[in-house]
Structure 1
Amino acid sequence: MSSLRARTELRRRATLQAAPDAVTMLTLYLIVLYGIPSTLRISTLGSMGSIGILVGLGTLIWWAWYRVQLRIPLDEARNNPARIGVFVLGGALLLSYLAAMTRAIPSSEISPADTGMLRAAALIGVALLALDGPPSMERFMVFIHRFAIAGGLIAALGLVQFITEQSLVDQIPLPGFVASADYSSLVLRGGLTRPAGTSVHPLEYAVILSMALPVTVVCALHARRGRVALWVTAGLIVLALMLSSSRSAYVGLAASVIPLVFGLGRVARRWIIVGGVVLGGFVYVVAPRALTNLRYLFVAGADDPSVQSRTSSYSVIETLFPHFPLTGRGFGTFLPAYRIFDNEYLVLLMEIGIVGLVAVIGLLVAAIVGVLRARTRSQDTFTRDVGVALIASLAAGAALLALFDALSFPQAAGTLFLVIGLCGAYRRLLTPGISLPDRTPARGPQGTQNI
């Protein structure tokens, strides 16, 4: 019997050794999320044909299989605020769905409710895989580096779009996919092109860049190889945000940079401030209208149509919210035909109620608190600074949730939950006694900095 158990254990370990690790799976998710235009759908699957959602569901299945194969119970959940927050949010979403299915729901909302739960499952799968998957701090840092590079590539594409005034992403046909929006022309504001990369809208593009920027800056500060390339990457991201002619992009830029200025050392602070001044001067020289538009966007205030749209939404909330105050109408059921809120927190209040909104805010706070507590355990400057970068990244995402319905956009939602999972992984990997088996050969104590 003991011999049979030993052979079974050997086969199980061999299976784990042969399988790709979570960092590889998350890298694939990044490629799919950012590499394929977010409006493209697999035509035969309708609203569920988004490749990002399908891969997200795959990450949930992969995570479940991984935990079963490792035979590690979730008894460490009490020690990780981010994991607790993810499961609480999942429970709130399920409660909202059950409430929606047991009321007199319009037929037009049934399919969006089902699709909404699948989208939520995909996002939770990404967060859990990012949280539990990286087996060591070294592999975690490898993915952090890849995330930074992905942000730089998206920024470079947006700058090419700004210069050429062409979308470019509609030039490469993908068999079996159909577009839910027209990519052949770009949005204009104040006479300038608003780049969107592979995103469906410039606001979604701003979320990706704002959340990738802190990670890129910290990688550039500590890289022993490719430092110049990483600083160029960070510069491209800042330029793309400055040239976006978007108030939200500047809010995201500020939200991502301020924690870095106060959380990093004096040398890093000097680099960030000097770099910001230089890039601002460069933008003023090559595209002065971008700064002129920016001044108008913030000075116009109540006269701006987007601001008027946000403020006029409050009366709709006052009318409809009392009908489903606790559990909401159901995630995904407040259709655009009813009203488009340029504020994801208001959308969540309507769709998943007070319980769900508190769960979302609690998850964001829990992820940040977990990182703050964990970074004090590390003696490595780079590791501590990555903690600051994750906090800044999540702060940018949380700020931009208040400026448009971000969770309706696959790239914005996927990036937000990916960073939430990375915050949980950071907390887990810096907690004594909580780790997963690492299949990566050791590379020395300084291996995490050689990226």
Structure 2
Amino acid sequence: MSLVASRARQLSAAAFKILPDGVTILTLYFIVLYAIPSTLRIGALGTLGSLGTIFGLGALVWWFWFRAQLGHPIDEAPRNPIRLGLLLFTGAMLLSYIAAMTRALPVAEISPADTGLLRVGAMVGIAVIALDGPPTEDRFLAIIRRFALAGGLIALLGIAQFMTNLPLVDQITLPGLSANSDYSSLDLRGGFARPAATSAHPLEYAVILSMTLPLAIVYALHSRGSRAVLLWTMSALILVGVLLSSSRSAYIGLAAALAPLLLALGPGARRLILTLILALGGLTYLIVPRVITNLRFLFESIGNDASAASRTSSYALVESMFANFPVTGRGFSTLLPAYRILDNQYLLFLVETGALGLLTLIGLLAASAFTPLGARRRSHTPLMNDIGVALTASLLAGASLLALFDALSFPQAAGTLFLVIGLSGAYRRLVTPAEPAASLLAGGSSTLRMYP
């Protein structure tokens, strides 16, 4: 009987080896999240109809299924703080949902609360696939390269939108999908189009560019030959995309993304990055001078800007609403746009998930941003060492932009943020492995144990 069971286990393990690993799944996620306009959704599913959200839920189910196949825990020593952060974040969101459902919830808020919990599941699903998916450093670096390439292509589309003053993506139609908003024209600011590429909003576009730029630059610094040309091109496109964005938030995200690189990398890397910034800034000024001159005006006029005034005028409202449900909040996604739009994800989280939810979100972001800095000392190569800095820079950029709009309401912004959170956890796992090293979703890697 034991021989039969052993043979069945061998056949099962062989079957798993032909399945795609977590890196392949994340590559497919890039296509679903970034190549398809964010406004195209499955109409019958409403706010849950985003393909990125559906993919994230599928990823969560797949992760649980693979975890169930393990006859032993994942080898990881010492424990990964990002894994703990995701667990605490999920628990706080569940408590907020339970608290909302056990009070007199208005009928209009019930469905948003349900879909909000599912969106949380999708975000966490992508994070845990990114955390446990890459089986080796080589596969981890492959997903970093593909992420940088995705950022460059998105920036290229945004640059084309800026130059043509056309959305370009309005001609994309896919069977079964419908646009949940009009994207046949671009927003204007200062006489220039505000590109959004395939994102639903220019600020969502800014999140993607700001979070991919540090990874693209660091990988380019350590590349040679055609790969170096490709990655420097992607870095240049992303930087130009930010410069042409006509967005204060994008510039703030850019500053947050570049500061850690300039502070933590060596003098040679610092000179190259500064040269790239000055060269592309000067080129942009020569071609479209008003883009650079408008930059000063954007920040000087912030006191008279409607969007800035909307943020500051919300403080009193947030204080009164927080007092009603201070611990667990009123429920994620229950502050409907018809009530008020809060252009600050931290304040929105405080209202919807209470102090508990906000603390777990901040704790997760802090763990994800600073864990790579501690882990990089154990890395085996200069590239992996500097990738730790790039991940910190990427997360600091994302965290700064959460203060400027309700980012988790947008599938691309939320998906990008939790993807990088998961990659930070994967970095920590791979540079500080236990013996023997193990990874979930290892696919065809023969060096990793899927079964005891």
Normalised to the residue count of structure 2, the TM-score between the two structures is: 0.95
The answer to whether the 8 Å contact 2:36/2:198 transfers is yes
The answer to whether the 8 Å contact 1:53/1:119 transfers is yes
- For the residues of structure 2 that align with 1:360 and 1:439, how far apart are their CA atoms? 31
Give the share of equivalent positions with the same residue, in percent. 58
1:286-307 per-residue CA deviation (whole Å, 9 max, x = no partner) reads 1111122211111113211111
What one-letter code is carried by the residue in structure 1 that aligns with 2:237?
A: L
Instruction: Give the structure 2 partner of residue 201 of structure 1.
Output: 201
Q: How many residues align?
A: 443
- For the residues of structure 2 that align with 1:12 and 1:430, how far apart are their CA atoms? 29
Query: Structure 1: any 5+ residue segments left out of the alignment?
Result: 444-451
Instruction: Give the structure 2 partner of residue 191 of structure 1.
Output: 191
- For the residues of structure 2 that align with 1:233 and 1:353, how far apart are their CA atoms? 40
Moved over 6 A (4+): none
1:68-120 per-residue CA deviation (whole Å, 9 max, x = no partner) reads 22333258496100000001000000000000000111100000000000000
The 5 Å alignment of 1:244-393 reads 244-393=245-394
1:317-336 per-residue CA deviation (whole Å, 9 max, x = no partner) reads 12211000000011111111
- For the residues of structure 1 that align with 2:184 and 2:333, how far apart are their CA atoms? 28
Displacement of 1:310: 0.7
Name the SS for the 2:301 alignment partner.
Answer: helix
Displacement of 1:4: 1.6
- For the residues of structure 1 that align with 2:178 and 2:377, how far apart are their CA atoms? 48
1:410-443 per-residue CA deviation (whole Å, 9 max, x = no partner) reads 0000000000000000001112314227555699
The answer to whether the 8 Å contact 2:57/2:122 transfers is yes
- For the residues of structure 1 that align with 2:163 and 2:98, how far apart are their CA atoms? 49
- For the residues of structure 2 that align with 1:36 and 1:323, how far apart are their CA atoms? 40
1:436 matched to 2:439? The reply is: yes
- For the residues of structure 1 that align with 2:212 and 2:376, how far apart are their CA atoms? 19
- For the residues of structure 2 that align with 1:139 and 1:119, how far apart are their CA atoms? 27
Which deviates further from its counterpart, 225-234 or 103-112? 225-234
Instruction: Give the structure 1 partner of residue 99 of structure 2.
Output: 99
Instruction: Give the structure 2 partner of residue 54 of structure 1.
Output: 54
The answer to whether the 8 Å contact 2:369/2:393 transfers is no
**Cα distance change, pair 320–439 in 1 and its aligned pair in 2 (3 A):** closer
Instruction: Give the structure 1 partner of residue 450 of structure 2.
Output: none
Which deviates further from its counterpart, 28-37 or 220-229? 220-229
**Cα distance change, pair 368–47 in 1 and its aligned pair in 2 (3 A):** closer
- For the residues of structure 1 that align with 2:94 and 2:275, how far apart are their CA atoms? 48
- For the residues of structure 2 that align with 1:19 and 1:147, how far apart are their CA atoms? 22
The answer to whether the 8 Å contact 2:85/2:360 transfers is yes
- For the residues of structure 2 that align with 1:205 and 1:64, how far apart are their CA atoms? 31
Name the SS for the 1:376 alignment partner.
Answer: helix
1:130-168 per-residue CA deviation (whole Å, 9 max, x = no partner) reads 001111111000100000000000000000101111001
What one-letter code is carried by the residue in structure 1 that aligns with 2:280?
A: L
What one-letter code is carried by the residue in structure 1 that aligns with 2:175?
A: P
- For the residues of structure 2 that align with 1:263 and 1:69, how far apart are their CA atoms? 41
- For the residues of structure 1 that align with 2:310 and 2:213, how far apart are their CA atoms? 29
Displacement of 1:46: 2.4
**Cα distance change, pair 93–309 in 1 and its aligned pair in 2 (3 A):** same
What one-letter code is carried by the residue in structure 2 that aligns with 1:108?
A: A
- For the residues of structure 2 that align with 1:287 and 1:142, how far apart are their CA atoms? 35
Normalised to the residue count of structure 1, the TM-score between the two structures is: 0.96
- For the residues of structure 2 that align with 1:102 and 1:367, how far apart are their CA atoms? 33
**Cα distance change, pair 288–378 in 1 and its aligned pair in 2 (3 A):** same
